[in-house]
């Protein structure tokens, strides 16, 4: 029996020696109180499991994040706060007999330990590079310590205006941006996000696009259902100067201001705009009184006063407006039932040529008025078929126009045999200058060349569906009839202007 007694005492000693969390029930007792809050915001966290090591009671925080553990034996403790979705927090506390110790535990979300991505390193285009094309491929590099899935944002600013181009949710480290502007200096920056940390920004790089050479010819080409304006330099290099996302057409260049005026569809209406020769600084001129007529593909306007103002039709009314917008003035009204479809103002602003027609585009007439609206000369009237394409010579002695000599009229305004004519104000006579025109085609939209020895125009199939091509020809040679001097300039193009 004595042996068994000693063995039991030995087991007890060994047991006590192996346990670090055993409480002495004969010690004094105290109280542990505390609050659990979110790291950074100090918002209280409720329903957090609170336990101690050595083990005592387990409690949960209330809606204010507070907790109390009563009857805790005196000693040193580690207080643990644990809740799903948050990182477990520990705080030390020393409990004294008949005393209260208070602790504050801060919890973080599990992703707060996630490290942010590296700073994006910009690769191309190189910083301060020049001569970039209008389609630019941007490239950069970035990595993430946890190999989180990254998304990028590319931001472009420029030195001309406050426009900001932003491209979001890019999954790759390359991105191509098209239809940038000629001669612009761009500033680009990339932001990377791992959807956990705040986005990290790269440095800012800059580059400059190609300068657009001055050109005397502008025209229109259709792209994806929209009319788009183009120009060409002396080396016959083509430049797109309006976006293919907008419907922009009927360009008219003014050499005094180095501006191009044009029409654009905005919210279902057709408005007058101006822009620089490179397509920059596009400005809407009209607003309350838009450009209007029986067929917007046929309606034309004109510069006036050396580029200070523009003259345009709105059905039967003719308006003048300052090129900077405002100052809208009614300057002429056609007789009842007549729409003004085209207008051209002479170089000295003393003569205006008008083309008017009925609501179907027929019963057309071309005549001139002075600056006060008085009718001066009747060029052509009373013939069946369509008229168009008026352009006054710089000396006011001649006028270009087109006439469909077939006299055909239908609801679709189809023309079968439109030809170029030159009217002489001195003799009051018109001569045809569409010699050697291919059968089944129309010559349309003529404009004098800068020296007025040539004419630029559009030739298109009379089916109304095939593509149009731009030609030029010598006016004097055309009168000999047997000289074929038609020269094709641009394919799939229309509405030319040559200044």
Q: Give the separation between CA 363 and CA 341, rounded to whole angstroms.
A: 12
What pLDDT does 8 receive?
37
Residue 333 falls within a domain, yes or no? yes
Residue 174 falls within a domain, yes or no? yes
* DSSP summary character for residue 267: T
Peptide bond into 151 cis (omega under 30): no
| 245 plus 337 within the same structural domain | yes
Q: For 57-85, b where at least 16 C-beta lie within 10 A, e where not — what string?
A: eebebeeebebebeebbbbebebbbbbee
Residue 465 pLDDT exceeds 60? yes
| 241 plus 354 within the same structural domain | yes
CA 372 distance to own-chain centroid:
42
Least confident piece of the model among 14-18, 21-25, 30-34, 229-233: 14-18
| 258 plus 351 within the same structural domain | yes
Condensed to tens digits (0 to 9), the pLDDT of residues 285-337 reads 999 999 999 999 999 999 999 999 999 999 999 999 999 998 999 999 999 99
Distances (CA, A) of 284 to 41, 347, 468, 485: 50, 24, 28, 40
| 346 plus 257 within the same structural domain | yes
Q: How many CB atoms lie within 10 A of CB 224?
A: 7
Residue 452 falls within a domain, yes or no? yes
| 164 plus 242 within the same structural domain | no
Condensed to tens digits (0 to 9), the pLDDT of residues 51-105 reads 999 999 999 999 999 999 999 999 999 999 999 888 889 999 999 999 999 999 9
Dihedral (Cα; 405, 411, 412, 418), 10-degree rounding? 10
pTM of the model: 0.65
Residue 83 falls within a domain, yes or no? yes
Q: Beta strand pairing status for 29-38 and 100-109? A: parallel
The position carrying tokens 């094709």 is 488
Residue 482 pLDDT exceeds 70? no
| 299 plus 184 within the same structural domain | no
Residue 4 falls within a domain, yes or no? no
Residue 423 falls within a domain, yes or no? yes
Domain boundary among 49, 80, 113: 113
Neighbouring-strand partners of residue 471: 457, 488
Condensed to tens digits (0 to 9), the pLDDT of residues 207-258 reads 999 887 777 899 999 999 999 999 988 778 888 889 999 999 999 999 999 9
Q: What is the domain range of residue 184?
A: 121-209
Please, are residues 251 and 230 in contact by the beta-carbon 8 Å criterion? no
Neighbouring-strand partners of residue 466: none
Which CATH number do you get for residue 139?
A: 2.60.40.10
Please, are residues 31 and 60 in contact by the beta-carbon 8 Å criterion? no
**Phi and psi at residue 54, to the nearest 5°:** -60, 160
Domain boundary among 183, 209, 235: 209
Residue 475 falls within a domain, yes or no? yes
| 315 plus 457 within the same structural domain | yes
Q: Which own/partner pairs from 475-480 qualify as long-range (CB within 8 Å, at least 24 positions apart)?
A: 475/422, 475/433, 478/420, 478/433, 478/434, 478/435, 479/431, 479/433, 479/435, 480/435
Domain boundary among 113, 143, 165: 113
Three-state SS for 132-165 is ECCCEEEEEECCCCCCCCCEEEEEEEECCCCCCE
| 235 plus 301 within the same structural domain | yes
Which CATH number do you get for residue 459?
A: 2.120.10.30
| 342 plus 465 within the same structural domain | yes
Q: Give the separation between CA 86 and CA 46, rounded to whole angstroms.
A: 12
| 414 plus 445 within the same structural domain | yes
Please, are residues 321 and 329 in contact by the beta-carbon 8 Å criterion? yes
| 201 plus 268 within the same structural domain | no
Residue 420 pLDDT exceeds 80? yes
Residue 307 falls within a domain, yes or no? yes
Q: Give the separation between CA 61 and CA 59, rounded to whole angstroms.
A: 7
| 152 plus 31 within the same structural domain | no
CA 374 distance to own-chain centroid:
45
Q: Give the separation between CA 159 and CA 170, rounded to whole angstroms.
A: 25
Please, are residues 357 and 345 in contact by the beta-carbon 8 Å criterion? no
Number of domains in the chain: 3
Non-local (6+) Cβ contacts of 200 within 8 A are 116, 117, 118, 119, 120, 142, 191, 192, 193
């Amino acid at each position: 029996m004595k042996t068994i007694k000693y063995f039991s005492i030995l087991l007890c000693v060994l047991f006590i020696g192996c346990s670090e969390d055993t409480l002495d029930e004969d010690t004094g007792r105290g109280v542990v109180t505390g609050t659990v809050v979110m790291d950074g915001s100090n918002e209280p966290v409720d329903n957090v499991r609170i336990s101690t090591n050595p083990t005592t009671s387990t409690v949960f925080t209330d809606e204010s994040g507070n907790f109390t553990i009563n009857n805790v034996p005196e000693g040193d403790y580690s207080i643990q706060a644990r809740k799903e979705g948050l990182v477990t927090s520990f705080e030390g506390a020393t409990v004294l007999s008949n005393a209260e110790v208070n602790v504050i535990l801060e919890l973080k979300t599990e992703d707060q330990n996630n490290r942010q991505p590296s700073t994006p390193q910009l690769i191309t285009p190189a910083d301060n590079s020049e001569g970039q094309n209008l389609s630019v491929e941007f490239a950069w590099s970035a990595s993430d310590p946890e190999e989180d899935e990254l998304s990028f944002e590319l931001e472009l600013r420029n030195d001309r205006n406050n426009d900001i181009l932003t491209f979001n949710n890019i999954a790759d480290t390359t991105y191509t941006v098209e239809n940038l502007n000629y001669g612009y200096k761009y500033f680009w920056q990339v932001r990377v996000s791992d959807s956990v940390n705040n986005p990290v920004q790269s440095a800012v790089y800059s580059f400059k696009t190609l300068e657009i050479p001055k050109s005397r010819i502008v025209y229109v080409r259709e792209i994806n259902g929209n009319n788009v304006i183009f120009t060409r330099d002396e080396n016959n290099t083509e430049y797109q100067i309006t976006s293919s996302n907008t419907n922009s057409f009927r360009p008219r260049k003014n050499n005094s201001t180095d501006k191009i005026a044009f029409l654009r569809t905005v919210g279902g209406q057709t408005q007058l705009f101006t822009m620089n020769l490179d397509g920059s600084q596009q400005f809407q001129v009209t607003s309350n009184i838009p450009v209007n007529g029986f067929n917007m593909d046929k309606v034309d306007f004109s510069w006036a006063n050396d580029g200070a103002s523009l003259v345009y039709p709105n059905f039967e009314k003719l308006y003048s407006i300052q090129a900077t917008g405002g100052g809208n003035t009614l300057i002429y009204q056609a007789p009842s039932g007549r729409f003004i479809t085209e207008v051209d103002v002479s170089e000295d602003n003393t003569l205006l040529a008008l083309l008017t027609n009925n609501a179907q585009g027929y019963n057309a007439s071309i005549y001139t008025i002075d600056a006060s609206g008085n009718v001066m000369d009747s060029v052509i009237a009373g013939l069946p078929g369509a008229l168009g394409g008026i352009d006054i010579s710089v000396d006011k002695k001649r006028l270009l126009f087109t006439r469909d000599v077939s006299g055909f009229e239908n609801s679709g305004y189809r023309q079968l045999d439109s030809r170029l004519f030159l009217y002489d104000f001195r003799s009051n006579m018109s001569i045809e200058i569409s010699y050697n025109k291919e059968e089944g085609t129309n010559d349309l939209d003529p404009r004098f060349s800068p020296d007025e020895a040539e004419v630029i125009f559009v030739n298109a199939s009379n089916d109304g569906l095939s593509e149009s091509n731009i030609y030029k020809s010598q006016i004097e040679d055309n009168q000999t009839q047997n000289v074929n001097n038609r020269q094709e300039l641009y394919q799939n193009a229309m509405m030319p202007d040559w200044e």
